Amino acid sequence: MADQEQADIRLMVARLRQEHEDYDAAINAMIATGCEALRIQRMKKKKLVIKDKLSKLEDQIIPDIIA
């Protein structure tokens, strides 16, 4: 993998991690204020989608050695 491509992926990973943390904070605030369960569930789904994207990008950076 080219250095520039790997740097781009690392940048996307950093952005997604920040977005994941933002969703986590928002979800915790929604729970604390007694927000609707359906809205919280939707936020959790979005957070999970971000986590899946993060995992895929991290796998591109660090390939599975057991092959």
| 18-61 residue pLDDT tens | 999 999 999 999 999 999 999 999 999 999 999 999 999 998 88
Q: Is the pLDDT of residue 15 over 90?
A: yes
Residue 67: helix, strand or coil by DSSP? coil
Q: What is the pLDDT of residue 65?
A: 65
Q: How far, in Å, CA of 35 to CA of 54, rounded?
A: 27
Q: How far, in Å, CA of 45 to CA of 40, rounded?
A: 9
**Residues whose CB falls within 8 Å of the CB of residue 12, separated by 6 or more in sequence, listed in order:** 57
- 33 vs 66, residue with greater confidence: 33
- The model carries a pTM of 0.82
